[in-house]
Structure 1
Amino acid sequence: MSSVSESSFRSSSVHLITPGTRRTTLRTDDGLTIEAVYEPCTTGSAPGAGSVDGTTAIVVAHGFTGSVDRPAVRRAARVFAQRAAVITFSFRGHGGSGGRSTVGDREVLDLAAAVAWARSLGHRRVVTVGFSMGGSVVLRHGALYTSPGTAPATEPHARTVPAQRGRIEAHADAVVAVSAPARWYYRGTAPMRRLHWMVTRPAGRLVGRYGFRTRIDRNDWDPVPLSPVEAVPLIAPAPLLIVHGDQDPYFPLDHPRMLADAARGSAELWLLRGMGHAENAADASLLTRIADWAVTE
């Protein structure tokens, strides 16, 4: 499925754009503008450089209240760029992107726009890496946007994913979910109870807007989108990596285990001792491991 029409991009090859970083604005299928940054691979295939793949692009999906310019996102981009080209972007309602956050629902359209941009730039292989809310989005995107010749999954009333248009594919060839929830409406930890207050209460949304620079949609989900654990078995045959820390204050270890069980043996699970939550807790060593997995799977 395509998130953007082919006419939204100028045709170019990876070779022509690799000299430097490019910042642009993408348009989603529901008409929002999304800020995005492309960074070419920074490392050649010299001895000791590790696995480097010039045909692959890694698309990074940040967590709730993040953005393309947050330090943790920029750190992830720098590490990933040592192995492959990288696209980062701000979800709707975050940073310089338009609209309001739906906290994981229509954000799948934002990710699809970024994946389609990567393919329009000539990358034949695209890997999505999502953190926390972004982790739930890459899982749903992997289930809903499928490779050519594969029947796509659908959500109730087909509200979230539009009909295909244009010829630019927006599917991921591999998926990495870091610190992702397995199910919606989880309130089992204090940080998640605070997050639900921020999302569901008018005073909380004011805190989100002025304290975290995140504009949050006031409407409830209708219909409720496909949950991460429901999405996981629909991702295969694309490779799936699930990464989670045993010190995650938001989602305990039953979440990654539930996701891995749902994959029925088709996912790889990394449970990391001492790791906290999402991109802020991902150090350079872990990010390098993820990038190496992304370019070799």
Structure 2
Amino acid sequence: MEAEAERVTYEYESRALLKLQQAGRVFQSLEREIDRWNEDHQLLAPMRSPHDGPSRLEVFRPQELDELPAAAWEATFHDGVHNLRVALDTLCFELCHIEGHPQEPGKIHFPVTAHPNEWPERTKHLSTIPAPLLERIRQVQGWARRDDGEPDPLTLIARADNDDKHRATGVLLDVLAMFQWAVRESHPLPPELANTRDWPLELWMDLRVTPPPERGQASLMPVLAWPFVVFQGLFANIADAQRWLYHETDRIISFLASGEWSNAGFERVLPGPVWSPWQPSVHGEGADVPADGCSDPR
């Protein structure tokens, strides 16, 4: 009978958890900013069901959207993601100093690899991490984890953090309408729109609605302007995306510390899956939307 391997325990106070908590505070502040903006801007989006399509619903941009602080929201989102990246890098730095002193501490960062072939080269600078802990870092890589149809959180964090520093492509923040027709009444069109078929407005969303609206139906629809995170062909509303990123980073850190994955869930803002296929044509011809409340096209 083989003897059970000796379990070695390391105890220290990690600064990584402080950066994780800071990310949570930044994400919460962004949700509050978005809520306050929507409270101060009661948006009414002109919408109509064209005569040429029984299921189509055209939604036009409210003028108030010009005041939307999209750049500030994007900056806050990236600030929160950066704190998640720093939390992982900090933990990796701490692990490298448990049993010794690395020769090049300035090169230490948490490795995020796209393929197992990259692993040896990307971890040369982590030779002072105890082997069992380095193996756990390998196990949290996207290619080593079970594919559940969601983006890899490490890849999204690394890409968004790089996007913030270098304006690289890969992570998109977009704004879609959240219909409020279940909680707020629609308004009649102003005369300048009601009396013409050629609206001099910018199209915001062109949707297929189930059940289909009556042809020719038109009104000012109450909406919320809500950001969405778009990544690798998938999208999630920003509140769920932020909570998912925080939750997954917390699970990764906990796994590195204990060797066991936490199965705890996280609170979703909207029911249903967090990440869904993104259809860029939502601004042209787009996603199916249930005509019973929220316009989250999932």
How high is the TM-score relative to the length of structure 2? Answer: 0.23
How high is the TM-score relative to the length of structure 1? Answer: 0.23
Higher Rg: 2
